[in-house]
């Protein structure tokens, strides 16, 4: 079962409704991490990485840090299509988000997001870069509850009836081995 959310055009800007943003924000924060992949066709692509979400803002943008690649990123390569796959073992749902990713290099914007004012803290961000993904499409999938067949339920009932007595614990005594 899947639900898809598309951005709707309102006054020439792409926006998600407040209900959709709230739903996506809750699900994203519940999972917390995602598999990030660059889906562009550029010669230089950021490698696929596991990311931890910093925040999801009111417009539905997803903010996170990525390790800074060793190669230089040119100005033209700072915006590219990307995909985020949110999945966590044990959760009955997963989420796939695609949209336009933008590498943020503005120190003031990084300060606003992290809340830090000290320059040594910003120096530590030289090894990572801030990325914002503008959600253009989101697909939400819930896993169906597994139903047992009639044969399986009969088998479980028979096993439960036959094995009602729980095994008792008997202490095991070790005897020293006598060597001749």
> Could you tell me the domains of the chain?
2-142 (2.30.110.10)
Burial of residue 68 (CB within 10 Å: 0-12, 13-18, 19+) is: middle
Residue 22 pLDDT level (bands cut at 50, 70, 90)? confident
Q: Give the residue, 5 or 154, on which the prediction is more confident.
A: 154
| CB neighbour list of residue 39: distance below 8 Å, 6 or more residues apart | 80, 81, 82, 83, 98
Burial of residue 46 (CB within 10 Å: 0-12, 13-18, 19+) is: buried
Residue 9 confidence (pLDDT) above 90: no
Pairwise CA distance, residues 96 & 148, whole Å: 29
Nearest Cα to 142, choosing from 84, 97, 98, 95? 95
Phi/psi for 7 (5° steps) reads -70, 145
pLDDT the model gives residue 7:
45
For the chain, what is the total number of helices (H) and then of strands (E)?
A: 4, 9
* Across 30-44, 105-119, 126-140, least confident range: 105-119
pLDDT the model gives residue 153:
80
| CB neighbour list of residue 117: distance below 8 Å, 6 or more residues apart | 111
- pTM comes to 0.65
Residue 174 pLDDT level (bands cut at 50, 70, 90)? low
Residue 171 pLDDT level (bands cut at 50, 70, 90)? low
Residue 155 confidence (pLDDT) above 70: yes
DSSP letter at 17? -
Pairwise CA distance, residues 74 & 67, whole Å: 16
């Amino acid at each position: 079962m899947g639900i898809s959310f598309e951005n709707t055009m309102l006054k020439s800007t792409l926006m998600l409704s407040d209900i959709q943003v709230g739903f996506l924000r809750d699900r994203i924060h519940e999972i917390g991490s995602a598999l990030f992949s660059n889906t562009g066709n550029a010669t230089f692509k950021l490698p696929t990485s596991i990311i931890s979400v910093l925040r999801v803002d009111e417009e539905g943008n997803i903010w996170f840090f990525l390790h800074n690649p060793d190669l230089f990123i040119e100005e033209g390569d700072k915006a590219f299509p990307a995909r985020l796959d949110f999945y966590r073992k044990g959760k009955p749902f997963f989420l796939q988000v695609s949209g336009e990713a933008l590498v943020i290099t503005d120190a003031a914007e990084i300060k606003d997001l992290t809340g830090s004012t000290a320059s040594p803290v910003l120096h530590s961000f030289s090894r990572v870069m801030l990325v914002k993904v503008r959600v253009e499409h989101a697909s939400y999938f819930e896993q169906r509850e597994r139903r047992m067949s009639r044969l399986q339920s009969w088998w479980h009932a028979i096993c439960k009836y036959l094995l009602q007595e729980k095994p008792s614990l008997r202490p095991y005594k070790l005897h020293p081995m006598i060597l001749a």
